Amino acid sequence: MDLIPWILLAILLLEHLFFLPRLFSRAGQKAWHGYVPFLNYYTWLKVIGRPWYWIFLLIVPGINLMMLVIMQVELGISFGQRSTVDQWKSGAAAWVALPMLALGQSEYVGPRDWHNKKKSTGREWGESILWALVVASIVRTFLFEAFMIPTGSMEGSMLVGDYLYVSKTAYGPKVPQTPVSVPLIHNALPGSMIPSYTEWFSLPFYRLPGMKKVERYDAVVFNFPHGDTIIVDPQWAGHDYYGILRMEAIKRANGDIPAYVSDPGRYQGEARSLLERQFGIRPRPLDKTENYVKRCVALPGETLSAVDGTLNINGSPLEPPAGVQFEYRITFESPMEKRRAHQGLGLTNIDGTYNDRSLQVAWVLTEDERAQLESSGMAVSIERVDLSFRRGRLEMFPNAYLPEFNQWDPDNFGPITLPNRGMTIELNQRNLALYRRAISTYEGHTLEEADDKVFIDGVESTSYTFELDYYWMMGDNRHRSADSRMWGFVPETHIVGRASFVWFSKQNKEQHGESKIRWNRMFKSVK
H or E stretch covering 147: strand 144-148
pTM of the model: 0.84
Residue 417 is assigned to a structural domain of this protein: no
User: pLDDT value at position 330?
Assistant: 93
Mean pLDDT of the region 301-313? 97
495, exposed or middle or buried, with CB in 10 Å at 0-12, 13-18, 19+? Answer: buried
User: pLDDT value at position 372?
Assistant: 93
- Residue 90's pLDDT band (boundaries 50, 70, 90)? confident
Q: Which residues pair with 311 in a beta bridge?
A: 306
Q: Please tell me the distance from the alpha carbon of residue 285 to that of residue 241, in angstroms, as a whole number.
A: 14
User: pLDDT value at position 351?
Assistant: 78
Residue 339 is assigned to a structural domain of this protein: yes
Residue 5 has pLDDT above 70, yes or no: no
- Across 161-170, 284-293, 339-348, 508-517, least confident range: 508-517
Residue 350 is assigned to a structural domain of this protein: yes
Q: Please tell me the distance from the alpha carbon of residue 183 to that of residue 196, in angstroms, as a whole number.
A: 9
User: pLDDT value at position 133?
Assistant: 75
- Across 181-190, 318-327, 502-511, least confident range: 502-511
- Across 14-18, 269-273, 446-450, least confident range: 14-18
User: pLDDT value at position 297?
Assistant: 97
Residue 365 is assigned to a structural domain of this protein: yes
Mean pLDDT score of the chain: 88
Residue 54 has pLDDT above 90, yes or no: no
Dihedral angle computed from the Cα positions of residues 128, 187, 144 and 442, in that order, rounded to the nearest 10 degrees = -150
Residue 99 is assigned to a structural domain of this protein: yes
Mean pLDDT of the region 269-273? 95
171: left (phi over 0), alpha (psi -120 to 50) or beta: alpha
Residue 276 is assigned to a structural domain of this protein: no
Could you tell me what percent of the chain has a pLDDT over 90?
54
- Crossing angle of helices 121-142 and 63-78, in 10° steps, is 150
Identity of residue 326: F
- Using alpha carbons only, what angle is made at residue 294 by residues 292 and 300, rounded to the nearest 5 degrees? 110
Q: Look at residues 86, 117, 148 and tell me which one is the last residue of a structural domain.
A: 117
Q: Look at residues 66, 89, 117 and tell me which one is the last residue of a structural domain.
A: 117
In sequence order, the 6+-apart residues with CB closer than 8 A to the CB of 466 are 419, 420, 421, 422, 423, 424, 425, 438, 443
Residue 198 is assigned to a structural domain of this protein: no
What's the total number of domains in the chain? 2
Kindly list the distances between the CA atom of residue 430 and the CA atoms of 156, 257, 293, 487, in Å, as whole numbers in the listed order: 35, 19, 29, 16
pLDDT tens digits for 361-398? Answer: 999 999 999 999 999 989 999 999 999 999 999 999 99
User: pLDDT value at position 285?
Assistant: 93
Mean pLDDT of the region 322-342? 90
CATH number, domain of 372, equals 3.30.70
Residue 316 structural domain: 304-385
Residue 95 is assigned to a structural domain of this protein: yes
- Residue 59's pLDDT band (boundaries 50, 70, 90)? confident
Q: Look at residues 337, 367, 385 and tell me which one is the last residue of a structural domain.
A: 385
Residue 1 has pLDDT above 50, yes or no: no
